[in-house]
Amino acid sequence: MGNLFRYNRTKNDQMARVGWIGIFVNPVVMLDYYLGDNPNNQAGWVIEDFDSLMMQAKVEQDLAMMLKKY
């Protein structure tokens, strides 16, 4: 398992699989991992539109609107 994470961090691989199960109702728990500046974004991809929508949803006070943005 240690090798998998080492290869993931150096981007010296062709394919990797890592699993995790979110246990919370709020989608931010899972989606936060894919923010461009999140240290847990091991894939290293950045989509500015995604980051922007996530930031909008995080500050939304209305629960229905927040979930719609996610």
How many Cβ atoms are within 10 Å of 54's Cβ, its own excluded? 20
In a domain, 3, yes or no: no
In a domain, 9, yes or no: no
Query: Residue 65: pLDDT band by 50, 70, 90 thresholds?
Result: confident
Report how many domains make up the chain.
1
In a domain, 15, yes or no: no
pLDDT in tens, 12-64: 666 666 666 666 777 888 888 889 999 888 888 899 999 999 999 889 888 88
